[in-house]
Amino acid sequence: MKKKIGISYTKSSFENYWNWITKEDMQDDLELVLLSFEKNNTEDIYKCHGFILTGGVDVHPEFYNGKSIYNNSPDIFQPERDAFEQKIYRYSQEKKLPVLGICRGMQLINVLEGGKLIQDLDNGNERHKKEDSDKEHNIIAEDGTLLHNIANSRKGSVNSAHHQAIDPDALGINLAVNAYDDDDEKIIEGLEFKNKSGKAFMLCVQWHPERMTNKAENPFSENIKQEFLSAIRNNT
């Protein structure tokens, strides 16, 4: 029986996530499942063996007691998406299933673990906020972290398209920073579990490994993908 990878639906370039995992990656033992808050196909969550939580619109501030009005907030939030993806994450932790959180996905996981967000980076966001295309900048991975071990590198170039960030003074329970912006260590670029005992694979990144221009050669994309797939294959 094939193991199923659930990918949460986003209205923002969903095809990039879907196409990132190729037929060659899946071989004959993995398949992809669309998990959509619009369809509310909750039953499909329980058929999956690993999950990707994707990017997209800001998490509703009520999830972390944030301000209801802030700079660059979206015209419309998607609280139904927040609630649907909360089910995905809670199920993954209950059943100890691998999770990869990308951009908004990382922010959601921090919030669900009791953390908070910087709601807008304001004028300090020239390096990160998407304009005509993703921004590119360097990150520094923390020595000895899961991310460092996966990428086999402490420094790398990544892409960015976000205006919010993890609040460094309000990390979620049992979460640890694994990467910072190399120009501003207040901007957190990745999270993982601090105590991994009894936990499945869980890695969060603020960048978009699924749509890097050189993703097949960049260890902060390709290595992450392959480690995530291996974690699903090897999880019992």
Catalytic residues: 103, 208, 210
Non-local CB neighbours of 226 within 8 Å, separated by 6+ positions: 25
**Residue whose tokens read 């900048």:** 137
Integer-rounded Cα Rg, in Å, for the chain is 16
Contacts 24+ apart (CB under 8 A), 133-138: 134/159, 134/160, 134/161, 134/208, 134/211, 135/159, 135/160, 135/161, 136/160, 137/181, 137/182, 137/183, 138/181, 138/182, 138/183
| 228 alpha-carbon distance from chain centroid | 12
**Other residues' Cβ atoms within 10 Å of the Cβ of residue 56:** 22
Q: How far apart are CA 171 and CA 27, in angstroms?
A: 37
**Residue whose tokens read 């639906």:** 9
Going by C-alpha positions, the residue among 4, 71, 2, 69 that lies closest to residue 35 is: 4
Do 75 and 27 meet the contact criterion of CB atoms below 8 Å apart?
A: no
**Other residues' Cβ atoms within 10 Å of the Cβ of residue 26:** 15
Q: Which amino acid is at 4?
A: K
Q: Which amino acid is at 174?
A: N
